[in-house]
Chain A
Amino acid sequence: MRSFLQDPKRLLATIIAGGVGLVVFVDSLGSIPLISPVATLLVTWTATLLGLALLIGLGSVIGTHFQHVASREPTWGYSVVLLFAMFTVIALGIFGVPGQAFPVSLSEEPLRLSFRLIYEPLASSLLALMAFFSLSAILRAIQQRRAEAICIILVALGVLLAQTPLVAGLAGVDAAVGSFKDYVVLAGARSILLGTALGTMVASLRLLLGFDQPYLDR
């Protein structure tokens, strides 16, 4: 593969991507009179492109589920429900409801009502199932005798027991749990966060400098 310095198409794309990223990055450090308007304009363009990406994704979802219905796949009924719900919410957002103010965001009626009455109860119910799914996963992990999983289960059981009134009232339990959280748990969480931050910084810097070009064909 040629170096991107010898390829005008790749070089131009790299300069544009790196330049745009650098402008937005510098603007995020502090407001600079010459750079702020340019950065704001670039971010606005990005938001517009994200909206277009959403439309394309929407088209993909509609196409997939129409195909499920047309080919009468076993789950075609669910696809009908999905398409009906999708078009209903879209219609509510575009046309509003007669007699009510036109919604300009998802947090306004009647869109907010549809989410409050339908999506939120469903999501809460499904999240309530997490306890049972976790129990099922714990039983399977014990049957498979996986060391890491058993270690996690034992620690979770210990913390659970330590919170019961009988055990929490014992001398030293509170301090022991606090020390465990403040030193062991916090140290582990911080190490993961530091590693994540380093990975993010390196990936971002390589993108800005043009070493990584995921926006181009390989």
Chain B
Amino acid sequence: MALRPAMEKFSTLFATLYLIPAQAILGLLIIFMMIGFTWLHHAQALHGNLPKFRPLPALDTLRAALRRGAETGRAIHLSPGAGSIGQPPAMAQTMAGILAAARVIEETALKGTPVLVTSGDAVAHLALKGALRQAYQHAGQAQDYAPASVRLLALEAPTAYAMGLMTTYSPQRFEASQIIGPLGPEFILAGEEAAQYSIPQLVGTTSVSALPLLFLVSPSVLIGEEIFATEAYLTASSTPQARLLTQDALRLTLSLLVVGGLLFQSLVALQPMLPFTLPFLVP
């Protein structure tokens, strides 16, 4: 008798689910899967149970510059590009650039290497200022914090940002320049300027129109999703490692779905030529 109300509730739920479009259910399943992966990998990272990540040779340029910068005293330039946090298409890339810059700032604050941070967005400018101040405070070098080390070169104007970056490169020598974020073809102006001054550059973007130009100005290029992985390679902290694990798991799932779908479609196309009928292809 106690089961009857439960069964009635289940039937109501099932009927309600039947009315929800299939795409919505699929979307919810994907979101729940992502949430499950996120929890699992966060716990895995906290316990230190991490796989060995493949090397990113592009980051060797930055690591070498960090080693040299403490001796030479030359500044390292950091930038999340000209993107805006308030604009959805460029927001994720700008955040990735800010997080990568923040990790480098932590290391330079500990080593006493000067930095110059530029941005093309007011919110990114404030975030980087905060990151620089925190880094110097945590390193016990609060007196070395210089707000003028963070500069706003332009606002939502990629061409103006590129020009501002060109003028930034000319007066002083930099040990290296890291620019990770939404970059467009106009970046060739600043990138080539840096190359002419022999400034080692680490550049990264997801823009397919800018990537070929980045390869012309620098051998150290992060392609597409590698910019989201950069933070995990620059620090031993568990949070970015967990993020990288989740990205890898989702990418693997997506790859399996694509390959599986390709095989299924191929079998459907080949079915008429086969001497037998595959049971799962029969409508």
A and B: bona fide binding partners: yes
**Given the complex of chains A and B, what is the CA–CA distance between A8 and B188 in angstroms?**
47
Measured in the bound complex, the distance between the Cα atoms of B220 and A193 in whole Å is: 20
Which residues on the B side are within 8 Å of A136 (C-beta)?
192, 196
CB distance from A30 to the nearest CB of B (A): 10
> Contacts of B221 on A, CB cut-off 8 Å?
148
- Which of A138, A189, A203 touches B96 (beta carbons < 8 Å)? A203
Contact A56 B122, CB 8 Å, known A50-B86, A202-B34: yes
B79 to chain A, nearest CB (A): 15
Q: A50-B123, A192-B208 given as contacts; is B224 within 8 A of A134 (CB)?
A: no
Residue with the highest number of chain A CB atoms closer than 10 Å, among B86, B167, B191: B86
Least CB distance from A116 to B in Å reads: 15
Query: Is B186 within 8 A of A198, CB to CB?
Result: no
Q: Are B254 and A75 in contact (CB under 8 A)?
A: no
**Chain B, residue nearest A146 (CB):** B219
Bound complex: CA A61 to CA B228 (Å)? 29
Chain A interface residue count, Cβ-Cβ cutoff 8 angstroms: 59
A155→B110 CA distance, assembly (Å) = 45
User: What secondary structure prevails in chain A residues at the interface with B?
Assistant: helix
A182 contacts partner chain B, Cβ-Cβ < 8 Å:
no
Please determine whether B228 and A57 come into contact, CB atoms closer than 8 angstroms: no
Shortest beta-carbon distance from B55 to chain A in Å: 17
Residues of A within 8 A of B35 (CB): 205, 209
By beta carbon, the residue of chain A nearest B212 is: A152
Q: Is B225 an interface residue (CB 8 A)?
A: yes
User: Are A75 and B171 in contact, CB atoms less than 8 angstroms apart?
Assistant: yes
A40 at the interface (CB under 8 A from B): no
B177-211 vs A, CB cutoff 8 Å, 1 = contact: the mask equals 00000000110110110011000000000101001
A117 to chain B, nearest CB (A): 16
Residue B92 interfacial (CB < 8 Å): yes
Bound: A189/B250 CA distance, A: 19
The yes or no answer to B251 lying at the interface (CB within 8 A) is: yes
Contact B251 A57 (CB under 8 A): no
Are A63 and B243 closer than 8 Å at their CB atoms? no
User: What separation, in Å, do the CA atoms of A200 and B155 have in the docked complex?
Assistant: 23
Residue B125 interfacial (CB < 8 Å): yes
A199–B163 Cα distance when bound, in Å, is: 29
Contact with B along A106-146 (1 / 0, CB 8 A): 00000000000001000100110110011011101100101
Are the C-beta atoms of A192 and B206 separated by less than 8 Å?
A: yes
Say if the beta carbon of B150 comes within 8 Å of chain A. Answer: yes
- By secondary structure, the B interface counts as helix
Cα-based distance from A218 to B224 in the complex (angstroms): 27
Report which of B159, B212, B251 forms a contact with A123, defined as CB distance below 8 A. Answer: B159
B61 in the interface, Cβ–Cβ < 8 Å?
no
Closest chain A residue, CB of each to CB of B207:
A192
The digit string for A76-102, where 1 denotes a CB below 8 A from any CB of B, is: 001000000000000000000000000
Q: Cα distance A152–B223 when bound, in Å?
A: 14
Is the C-beta of A60 less than 8 angstroms from some C-beta in chain B? yes
Q: Could you say which of B38, B99, B134, B217 contacts A211, with CB atoms under 8 Å apart?
A: B38
Name the CB-closest residue of B to A209.
B38
Give B8 Cβ to nearest chain A Cβ, in Å. Answer: 28
Q: Are B38 and A199 in contact (CB under 8 A)?
A: no
Asked if A57 meets B125 with Cβ closer than 8 Å, knowing A152-B216, A214-B99, the reply is yes
Residues of B in contact with A (beta carbons under 8 Å apart): 31, 34-35, 38, 42, 86, 92-93, 95-96, 98-99, 122-123, 125-127, 129, 134, 138, 147-148, 150-152, 155, 159-160, 163, 167, 171, 185-186, 188-189, 191-192, 195-196, 206, 208, 211-213, 215-217, 219, 221, 223-225, 227-228, 239, 242-243, 246-247, 250-251, 254
The 4 closest A-B CB pairs, nearest first, are A195-B225, A199-B228, A57-B122, A200-B92
> Could you name 24 residue pairs across A and B whose Cβ atoms are closer than 8 Å?
A46-B86, A57-B155, A60-B147, A60-B150, A61-B152, A63-B148, A123-B160, A126-B186, A130-B185, A134-B188, A149-B216, A152-B215, A188-B208, A192-B208, A193-B206, A195-B224, A198-B247, A198-B250, A199-B92, A199-B96, A201-B34, A202-B38, A206-B242, A206-B243
